[in-house]
Amino acid sequence: MQVLKTLTDDQLVAHYAKGNNSAFDELLTRHQSRVFSYILHIVKNRDLAEDIFQETFVKAIMTIKQGRYSENGKFVAWITRIAHNLVIDYYRQEKSENTVSTDEDETNLLNRKDLCESNIEDEMVVEQIHNDVKRIIDALPESQREVLVMRYYRNMSFKEIADSTNVSINTALGRMRYAIMNMRRIAEEHNIVLTF
């Protein structure tokens, strides 16, 4: 581990891409304070900042593991740009969820399906999706299922998951990544559509 501290960020990325998980732990240790402070400065909410921070490093892990990281600048600038884009995505989504357009003269707010309570067919479809998701989650390996349940059903941060399961944050992030990949594969194999 001491040797990793002497490596540059790009060297650590290269080691991580070849399977050395400790290299990513070193990158995380090296830059987590700066990246988290940057996000918190913009969003002004610690819980939201932690979520975006975790998503930032999940995205970084996936990009590196897929071989899409390019050394055209500093790692810290790259990871900060990912964080910045996720912040923008969050605010965009927040804005679109809270906006109802009535620009068209013919709009009748009382006759819009998207503004009405769901009907019985919608509820049946949603229930089927929930059942399919439960079956897929049950098919995951125990370690992946555990991380997924902690993250999405208990709203635990990756740090809390890592502490609870006695693994590194990097391992928890990796298990989540594989859980999502396996869920997609299982859904495709069984022709399960998970969107409504």
Torsion of CA 33, 38, 165, 150, to 10 degrees: 170
Residue 83 has pLDDT above 60, yes or no: yes
Give me the pLDDT at residue 122, please: 60
Q: Which CATH number fits domain 119-189: 3.40.50.300, 1.10.3720.10, 1.20.1260.10, 1.10.10.10?
A: 1.10.10.10
pLDDT, average across residues 13-19:
89
Fill in the DSSP letter of residue 45.
-
Do the Cβ atoms of 177 and 58 come closer than 8 Å? yes
Q: Is the pLDDT of residue 29 over 80?
A: yes
pLDDT for position 105: 47
pLDDT at 124: 67
pLDDT, tens digit, 9 for 90 and up, residues 100-120: 555 554 555 454 555 555 556
Are the CB atoms for 69 and 17 separated by under 8 Å?
yes
Most confident range (mean pLDDT) of 48-62, 64-78, 93-107, 148-162 is 48-62
Across the chain, mean pLDDT equals 81
Say how far apart CA 129 and CA 131 lie, in whole Å.
5
> Is pLDDT at 139 greater than 80 in this prediction?
yes
* Cα angle 19-137-20, degrees, rounded to a multiple of 5: 5
Quote the pLDDT of residue 195: 55
Residue 132 predicted with pLDDT over 60: yes
pTM over the 0.75 mark: no
The CATH classification of domain 4-96, taken from the options 3.40.50.1360, 1.10.1060.10, 3.90.180.10, 1.10.1740.10:
1.10.1740.10
Instruction: Check residue 153 and give its pLDDT.
Output: 78
pLDDT digits (tens, 9 = 90+) for 170-193: 888 888 888 888 888 887 887 776
Domain extents in the chain = 4-96, 119-189
Contacts of 65 (CB under 8 A, 6+ apart): 17, 177
Q: Is the dihedral of CA 185, 188, 191, 193 positive or negative?
A: positive
Whether 161 and 150 have beta carbons less than 8 Å apart is answered as yes
Sign of CA dihedral 181, 186, 190, 194: negative
Beta strands in the chain (DSSP E): none
